Structure 1
């Protein structure tokens, strides 16, 4: 973004606010709009909703500041039968209405979240849970049909937090909630008759990226949350030092999702042509960050549990050969079908979208295609997707592109997923995942560009913040120190 615009945003922020306190709650500016929290079994949370769910609701377990598993509603747990049985001991805690959290109620909510047809987007990944039993009022048992090494990590996701019409079960709770932001206090405090005298532990506000960064540079907030590649230029504009600009080494998806599967985009061969024509090395060079890792494969190379499969031949070819092949393919298709209309690409209205569009427009223009940038929520042929993987397993990617949500699903891909789902033998699973990975890459419903990132601006006042592979930063464990 232009420096002049950033300075203007800073002046507006300074005029609207007085001088900041050096002590007090953790002050956070989250990039984007304030979320309306809802049951994650009905409405998949976006990044801001997930952060708030992580703060105000819990599942059986949760993630700590290092991205590791820690106690949630369950005070402790035991794994038996070589990973097929999990026993959880529910902690002594109450729902927002004052009734005790019991294993029976937790089991009911967990069955609802994982049942077939649930609106919870992680439900398909938890289909290996065969039984959910309340053994005693405070002990719950999960029986799996085969071991899942990522079960606890899935249960720790914000999507698996238990939510009621009155809210979640801590560790924090809203003290106030208006369109200017949300104040959070320790869970249980809101029931205190002296609640009006309680100072919040966390004050959350929501702002466009330029304003959020301006608030940080003015010292008005301790943390800017929710950044990715398209908003990184706003943070870089204030030239933060290495201690301030923290980047989580996450995995997941960052690229173009095909949303219209008709005409030229109806054929997987043409979608592959689009993918191979993009110079990802040039895009990474434009971003000029060591974290800008080019990605040509839909499934991250580090994903666990995916059998080895043959890489597409174009990945190793140089750009000249790839473009020559693409130009020939485009010309041949147009000779048979007519001119291809400009491809509409939906990108966020953010500074970091400009280099992405510039590279795509140049590279696809070089093979004979016109492109048009459209608003992110507008009608489009391709739309930018930026998602962090919930686990390090390849099954997360298969879930994102499962056949009921993927118009490009091929018979080979569907058969490989069915083979994996129906067999418990490890050898069969390795074979099935390898076939599924290759079939997914061949069908190309998504064009990967880069490894995703999550960036944060962190004040020296703040302790308890650590970068990790899951962008997990529990708000209740952040502490604002008394001065710098």
Structure 2
């Protein structure tokens, strides 16, 4: 059994005695509190993801700049142009003193990718042909084809290595955790005592500024605490909480935006009436003035998206976008008005489309833009609660890798969104491609079919922001929006 807590409090008080330290690094995460009982099953809960990244790790992880770095593996080599990965483990032990073995790592990665796995990345692991424990400290992973994004995938919190629910991250949860309070103290994981010349030497005491005081708070509360100097950094900001940050008029140095990619748009969750036909779903998409929508969030904070798979995604043989991409909004709306009028003449009135958006100040601008844009072409719309039945539901998701296949996997036919046998067949053909050139062609064909089906209306690039005080010296915006807690404050020694 791996312990989750350490008797840190006495060390913490002793280190405070000098009065020199600035105290713990104070982090507010915009998220609901978590009980952290089954973190892998709870993902993508922001609270569970951040705690899991702090207290556990996989073979590799992402650093503060979004680059892959060693974790349980001290080093690795990539062979066969990205088809074989060989990892050598660090000499680390679990809390009970037993060694972390290649067999444990291999078994957990196999479990994550097996059919029926609850792991969110299970389908992304389908390229794995074999995982072997070559020696107690060497893991070899053979893929069916080269994958240049494979290390990015392995760095996801979803692939942390756990034993009895606990892992070996840079921190431990100190002195317990009361989820009802939404506050947790994290302390650096200490090296075990060493025997030197026959004497047991304890590691250096933990200084307060090496610890992290993590709070899970609503967006308005977190921003207000930052404005009053009660927290050092606010993480977990998105489109819906951005108005809270703007309300305190932060400087550009304090309000930091991550250049993430992913999905921010509307999933078609009802496929009857006007929404039953792909061409009608496309009408909804082409009628939207995304420049107007981006302007609501600020021109430098939001970026329009017309295609489901971004054009610079790894693996695409050619750009895949809608045929109307270069048309003006006026021309698109003229076409849409005529198409809607024709449909109404043949089928009767269109029932108001129900759009489900989560609660928060950001949804007002999003819904206002949708209502105005669709009213201009004769389509009525109403906003419904997030938990209510809906016709369209907002998706806000950061991509785990740069690969085009990540986007394609989000729209498999078992997701309850518009799909086709042809799309399912194209996804299978990607896995069976005999070469990288053929695979890129098939990825492009699948992306083209996905765009035609329109199970989802892209709106903008996802928005991820943080509020950063001058005390935080290790923060760096990055394409995955990941900010490991142990990287936020640069070492002073």
Describe the superposition over 1:144-163 as per-residue Cα deviations: whole angstroms up to 9, x where unpaired: 11110001110001111123
Match of 1:291 in 2: 301
2: CA distance, partners of 1:314 / 1:397? 21
Match of 2:442 in 1: 432
- The answer as to 2:239 corresponding to 1:237 is no
TM-score of the superposed pair, with normalisation by structure 2: 0.88
Match of 1:34 in 2: 33
2: CA distance, partners of 1:190 / 1:183? 20
Gaps of 5+ in 1: 1-20
1: CA distance, partners of 2:38 / 2:113? 13
- The answer as to 2:49 corresponding to 1:47 is no
Match of 1:260 in 2: 270
Describe the superposition over 1:23-67 as per-residue Cα deviations: whole angstroms up to 9, x where unpaired: 111101111201343556544322332222111110110000111
Range with greater deviation from structure 2 (33-42 or 265-274): 33-42
Range with greater deviation from structure 2 (174-183 or 398-407): 398-407
From the superposition, tell whether residues 366 and 210 of structure 1 become closer, same or farther in structure 2 (CA, over 3 Å).
same
- 1:363-382 to structure 2, matched below 5 A, reads 363-382=373-392
Match of 2:177 in 1: 177
Range with greater deviation from structure 2 (379-388 or 210-219): 379-388
- 1:86-97 to structure 2, matched below 5 A, reads 86-97=85-96
Match of 2:71 in 1: 72
2: CA distance, partners of 1:40 / 1:426? 36
- The answer as to 2:310 corresponding to 1:300 is yes
- The partner residue of 1:465 within 467, 470, 475 is 475
SS at match of 1:246: strand
From the superposition, tell whether residues 76 and 196 of structure 1 become closer, same or farther in structure 2 (CA, over 3 Å).
closer
Which consecutive segments of 4 or more residues in structure 1 shift more than 4 A?
38-41, 188-191, 193-200
- The answer as to 2:330 corresponding to 1:340 is no
Judge conservation of contact 2:269–2:416 (CA < 8 Å) in 1. Answer: no
2: CA distance, partners of 1:347 / 1:392? 27
From the superposition, tell whether residues 99 and 254 of structure 1 become closer, same or farther in structure 2 (CA, over 3 Å).
same
Gaps of 5+ in 2: 1-19, 194-201
- The partner residue of 1:331 within 302, 322, 341 is 341
- 1:189-200 to structure 2, matched below 5 A, reads 199=208
SS at match of 1:163: coil
2: CA distance, partners of 1:92 / 1:379? 52
- The answer as to 2:443 corresponding to 1:444 is no
Please report the RMSD computed on the Cα atoms of aligned residues, expressed in angstroms: 2.4
SS at match of 2:331: helix
TM-score of the superposed pair, with normalisation by structure 1: 0.90
Deviation at 1:95, TM superposition (A): 2.9
- The answer as to 2:136 corresponding to 1:137 is yes
2: CA distance, partners of 1:270 / 1:65? 43
From the superposition, tell whether residues 40 and 127 of structure 1 become closer, same or farther in structure 2 (CA, over 3 Å).
farther
Deviation at 1:22, TM superposition (A): 7.7
- The partner residue of 2:408 within 389, 394, 398 is 398
1: CA distance, partners of 2:442 / 2:63? 33
Describe the superposition over 1:459-480 as per-residue Cα deviations: whole angstroms up to 9, x where unpaired: 1011111111111211012228
Match of 1:121 in 2: 120
2: CA distance, partners of 1:106 / 1:481? 30
2: CA distance, partners of 1:147 / 1:310? 23
Between Structure 1 and Structure 2, how many residues are aligned?
Answer: 462
Match of 2:56 in 1: 57
Deviation at 1:98, TM superposition (A): 4.0
Match of 1:353 in 2: 363
